[in-house]
């Protein structure tokens, strides 16, 4: 952090997240299988109910090429309230866990980003120039130098 500014506040990389909801998923299934939306909705509901019932029963569901749904047991433990610092008893729980398969990870990484831009350095020098000017005896107005160093690395996946 230099002065009031940090490199992160000067350069903001914006990402857009697109979320597909259940209706859009049903539409996509219906289009790809040449079925009606009602049939696709029944199929999706049956699939989700079967996965939920199987995992709730303590078994795992493995879809080769997609991933594995399985129950994960957490033992009881003592935690802390972050506001007061008081100890809390956290009860044991069994929660669903999804682990994507290697094939699924490879497909989504390739489709999501064919190239990756990495900013490895960003330097903003504001205070240095005013201190150097004062030490040199310069008075009056002077310009502020901003140095922005960006290294771009493109990697294919």
pLDDT digits (tens, 9 = 90+) for 71-98: 999 999 999 999 999 999 999 999 999 9
Asked if 68 and 61 touch (Cβ cutoff 8 Å), the reply is yes
For the chain, percent of residues with pLDDT exceeding 90: 54
Inter-CA distances, 126 with 8, 106, 110, 146, Å: 15, 43, 40, 7
Mean pLDDT of 39-52: 95
H-type alpha helices, 7-121: 7-10, 22-33, 37-56, 102-112
Q: Pick 10 or 22 by higher pLDDT.
A: 22
pLDDT at position 112 is 47
Domain boundaries, the chain: 114-157
pLDDT at position 91 is 94
pTM of the model: 0.55
Q: Look at the chain and count its residues.
A: 157
């Amino acid at each position: 952090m230099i002065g009031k500014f940090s490199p992160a506040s000067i350069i903001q990389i914006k990402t857009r997240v697109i979320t597909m909801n259940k209706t859009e998923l049903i539409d996509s299934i219906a289009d790809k299988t040449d079925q009606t939306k009602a049939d696709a909705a029944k199929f999706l509901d049956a699939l989700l109910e079967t996965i939920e019932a199987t995992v709730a029963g303590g078994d795992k569901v493995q879809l080769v090429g997609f991933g594995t749904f399985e129950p994960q047991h957490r033992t009881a433990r003592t935690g802390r309230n972050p506001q007061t610092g008081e100890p809390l008893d956290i009860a044991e729980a069994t929660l669903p866990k999804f682990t994507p398969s290697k094939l699924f990870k490879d497909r989504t990484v390739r489709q999501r980003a064919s190239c990756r831009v990495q900013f490895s350095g960003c330097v903003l020098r504001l205070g240095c120039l005013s201190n150097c000017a004062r030490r040199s005896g310069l008075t009056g107005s002077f310009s502020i130098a901003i140095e922005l160093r960006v290294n771009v690395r493109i990697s294919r996946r």
